[in-house]
Amino acid sequence: MLRRAREVLAGKEAWVVGGAVRDELLGRPVVDLDIACRVPRHAAAAYARIGGGKPFPLSERHGAWRVAHRDGRTVDFTPLPYGIHEDLATRDFTINAIARPLEGGADVDPFGGRAHLERRLISAVSDSVFADDPLRLLRAVRFEQELGFELDTTTEELVRERAALVGRPAGERILAELEQLGPVGYQRLDALGLLEPLGGSLDRLPAEDASRDLLLVAVFGRALERLPISNERRRYARILLRAELPADLSVRAVHRFRRATEPWTLDALALMGGSRELVDAVERARASDPPEPLVRGDELGLPPGPQIGRALELIEEERAAGTISTREEALELVKGLA
């Protein structure tokens, strides 16, 4: 990516900025490039022609363009209207405000970002960074978690002072940041006063190995639907939040619980603090699921309607409980109900 960018912008003022420089200095893989240049649109189009990928406007307001590769890597071309020092002054944190000439040369580091990398500190470039873009409140916590850094004292005070702004960015942007946090990140949001304004709580925070979706439901509950989540995630959240633990470990109770919560039964148990015994019972039930149903709905001899679904559910439950095991027994059960 870097070689192609140099080819496109040869002889022109251009700088590698942001996370690419930071990650290289930290010895981390550089996945995405952010290049500040004079005419981002033309640079993106030229890069796409020789390097592949699809160019599209990243921000019409700011004039930034992105080229996305099929493998998920991206190259961003951002405007440089006044020079690199002015550009770096608009960045969020000092560790992201280091620039390197695209064609090679000494870094430009006006805010001491390299020193903060060595000290593993996240420090705001200016007092206005969070007012300028409140999403940076969440990004600060994400960087702490992702890099194993910590906020310096002044920046932490700024975060607490500006915490009420955290809900202002577009929901898509907020969700994208939250999806990258683990339990430690959510605990940090809460400690900084950022979680409550978003409608979150740690009351049901699960263990470290919880999935991203489970964490979101556990932390935000019904408030999750205020964010632009997918229909599948909405269904997942509603099933988990409606679920009730089975009264006992009987086959029938476990079967009914599974019927209400599959394929997310174990997530529902994790959310509600289900016992190890209950988890084991669910896993045993899953392992013994028959490969095929005893009968199909059109074989029941019932008129179309919801009673067919109820009859099939009854057959499944009785089969799980061991009271029936053949097609004939299933049909006889339904005939008795009719």
pLDDT (tens digit per residue) in 176-212: 999 999 999 999 999 999 999 999 999 999 877 899 9
Pair 31, 76: CB distance under 8 Å: no
pLDDT of residue 23: 95
Bridge partners of 74, per DSSP, are 68
**Least confident among 24-38, 104-118, 153-167, 293-307:** 293-307
Q: How many helices (H) and strands (E) does the chain have?
A: 17, 8
Q: Across-strand partners of 59?
A: 64
Q: From its phi and psi, is residue 83 left (phi > 0), alpha (psi between -120 and 50) or beta?
A: left
Residue scoring higher pLDDT (92 or 53): 92
* 174, 207 contact by CB (below 8 A): no
**Which residues, 6 or more positions from 118, have their beta carbon under 8 angstroms from its beta carbon?**
none
**Hey, where are the domains in the chain?**
1-116, 120-242, 244-287, 297-337
Q: How far is CA 74 from the centre of its chain?
A: 18
What does the pLDDT average to over 70-86? 90
Give CA–CA dist 119/116, Å, rounded: 5
Give the model confidence (pLDDT) of 1-43 as tens digits: 788 889 989 989 999 999 999 999 999 998 889 999 999 999 9
Tell me if 113 sits within 8 A of 22, measured CB to CB: yes
The enclosing H or E element of 334 equals helix 327-337
Lowest mean pLDDT among 12-16, 56-60, 63-67, 77-81: 56-60
Given the DSSP bridges, would you call strands 33-37 and 74-79 parallel, antiparallel or unpaired? parallel
pTM of the entire predicted model: 0.88
Where residue 51 falls among pLDDT bands split at 50, 70, 90? confident
Report pLDDT for 208. Answer: 72
* Burial of residue 257 (number of CB atoms within 10 Å: 0-12, 13-18, 19+): buried
**pLDDT band, residue 145 (cuts 50/70/90):** very high
Q: What is the pLDDT of residue 338?
A: 58
Look over the chain and give the mean of its residue pLDDT values, rounded to a whole number: 93
Q: How far is CA 289 from CA 237, 239, 244, 282, in A?
A: 25, 21, 22, 11
Q: How large is the angle between the packed helices 135-147 and 153-161, nearest 10 degrees?
A: 140
Measured CA distances, 334 to 116, 285, 298, 312 (Å): 72, 24, 13, 9
Given the candidates 3.40.50.720, 3.40.50.10800, 3.30.460.10, 3.40.50.150, the CATH classification of the domain at 1-116 is 3.30.460.10
Cβ neighbours of residue 74 closer than 8 Å, sequence gap 6 or more: 32, 33, 66, 67, 68
CATH dotted code for 120-242: 1.10.3090.10
Q: What is the mean pLDDT of residues 93-117?
A: 96
The confidence score (pLDDT) of residue 61 equals 65
Amino acid at 116: H
Percent of the chain scored above 90 by pLDDT?
Answer: 78
